[in-house]
Amino acid sequence: MQKSFTRRDFLRAAGSSAAAIALSGAATSNAKDARPNILLIVTDQESWIDEQTRDLLDMPANRWLYENGTSFSSFYCTTAQCTPARSTIQTGLYPHQTRHVANTNKTYCAHIPEGVEFLGNKMRQAGYFNGYGGKWHLLEPKKRLGVGKVMGGTDDAGQDEYFKRFMKIRDESKPWFYQAHFLNPHDIYHMNYIFEGEELPDPDKATKWLKDKIKRVPGEEKRAERILKRLGDKLNPPPGWDKKIEGIPPAKGDWAYPYGNSGKYETLSRREKLEYWKKYRALYYCLHEMVDEQIGDLLNVLKKDYPEQFRNTIIIRTADHGDMSGEHESLKYKGPVPFDAQMHIPLILAGPGIPKGREIKDIASQADLAATICELAGAEKPNKGRSDAGSLVKAIKTSAPAGREYVFIEYYFLGAVQPLRIIRSKNYKYAVHYAENKTALFDYSKDPWERNNLSGNPAYSQIENKLKNELLAWQEEMRDPVTTDKYIFEEWKNPRKG
């Protein structure tokens, strides 16, 4: 079993690989094709966290990527649901275009239409050797999407082993594209406290639960216990978190899935609620640490066992969507709500040709990811002309802007059809909840915590109308089926036959 990933390990391995290449002279990675390998790392339900919070967490792999790569601090998913967001990652299209508008266990998740192009197939056509490990959560078979050799399932603690297998069977004459999809911090879903009538466990019980979760991999027990002992003050929310939620009224049915303010939770005192959310967030951040260690194990395989390949690999780290984690006082997980916590996600790139230690503040979309990967690889982007997606490569490698004034976010289904459409600029967000005929407008320059809904405020009428018209224009261009009187395509009445 490899030891845990540290920054010192990474720097030592990077130096060793440089020396080895200097001594070998002619030795290069991918002798017949010098294009970079691409390692795409996707976590599940990981919100973007600011620098202050990152400094509180023990996440050396994540820290190394930030220090040695380029990060986007205003990167947004196309929807806050697993299956729909993952369909965007694989196509560059929006969920209403892929028909993956809900998770695969829901009726309204339809098959992706014929003619849609996939990232994996584009990379394969460009000469890449593809592989995949981890969570899938799409309705389509992996073969159709061209992801290549499938090395394993959803066991995060086995991702380094999956990657080892892939590296052993790859075609060494080709560059490779490997996708590692981690399950966490999604396991926060298993913390079924209070809303479901259970008691909130103490850290020891939480440690046991998470330890049991990964002990099926020999040798992982001690690592799990070591990580989970950090459930104390270090993993509490950043200073001022309790003040941040002070004064925000309980979430209402207009925007929140009902479990957010019902049942046993309503019987708690204000102090008990704050304590609950602190522990919830502590566990959520603990899962960040745990998945970071597992990501580090995978990166250790690359940097230690294949140092030349490491030097020629672009590492991309992102997530499918985020988690509400107590924002707006009583919201957890994700749902048809217009708040950044579940939509604002990380994107970091590191490797050859990528500037080190750089932060790009321009707004960017998950829809841009497939086009970015393809340009880095010299491949044709999928579904050209069918989406507003654009490559971020120029912004990454030069001082050029990322190219977007707005990102667009959608939501369809959670227990019932609840269409939500959002347009987000750097400073404003406008949202429409069609089932409730409600709108929201936030001014982030004055209200970063989304406390004040300015929709209908005369002082903001010009801004609101502009955003509304931009959203309508995008919906028409993208052939979005959502209107106030028609929620889904007619042919979706029996969607699984689609």
Worst-scoring range by mean pLDDT, 146-160, 221-235, 421-435? Answer: 221-235
Strand ranges across the sheet with 149-152? 149-152, 129-134, 176-181, 37-43, 313-319, 347-350, 69-72, 358-360
Within a domain: 482: no
**Residue 25: pLDDT above 70?**
no
The better pLDDT of the pair 377, 104 is held by 377
- The segment with the largest mean pLDDT, out of 2-16, 149-163, 421-435, is 421-435
Is 496 a member of any domain?
A: no
**Cα–Cα distances in Å, from 247 out to 68, 251, 429, 451?**
40, 12, 21, 9
Domain for residue 459, yes or no?
no
**Residue 493 included in any domain:** no
> In the structure, what pLDDT confidence band is assigned to residue 14 with cuts at 50, 70 and 90?
very low
From residue 97, alpha-carbon distances to 87, 129, 285 in Å are 9, 27, 33
Q: Return the CATH number at 34.
A: 3.40.720.10
Q: Is residue 474 part of a domain?
A: no
Instruction: Convert the pLDDT of each residue in 224-252 to its tens digit.
Output: 554 444 443 333 334 443 443 343 333 33
Domains contained in the chain, number:
1
Distance of CA 244 to the CA centre of its chain: 24
Q: What local confidence, expressed as pLDDT, does residue 140 receive?
A: 82
With contact defined as beta carbons under 8 Å apart, do 355 and 70 qualify? Answer: yes
The three-state secondary structure class of 260 is helix
Q: What predicted TM-score, i.e. pTM, was given to this entire model?
A: 0.80
Give residue 26's pLDDT. Answer: 33
443 has pLDDT over 60: yes
Summarize pLDDT for 258-306 with one digit per residue, the tens: 334 445 556 666 666 666 666 677 777 878 888 999 999 999 999 999 9
30 pLDDT more than 90: no
Q: What number is the average pLDDT over the span 164-168?
A: 95
Q: Is the pLDDT of residue 100 over 80?
A: yes
* 367 or 15, greater pLDDT: 367
Instruction: Give the model's pLDDT for residue 223.
Output: 53
* pLDDT number for residue 407: 97
Is the pLDDT assigned to residue 39 strictly greater than 90?
A: yes
Residue 461 placed within a domain: no
In a domain, 125, yes or no: yes
- Within 10 Å of residue 439's Cβ, how many Cβ atoms? 17
Residue 394 belongs to domain spanning: 7-429
195/109: higher pLDDT: 109
Name the residue with higher pLDDT: 465 or 221: 465
Average pLDDT, the chain: 78
Q: Tell me: the pLDDT tens digits for 116-152?
A: 999 999 999 999 999 999 988 887 878 888 888 988 7
The fraction of the chain above a pLDDT of 90, given in percent, is 45
Give the number of other CB atoms < 10 A from CB of residue 229: 12
Report yes or no on 211 lying in a domain. yes
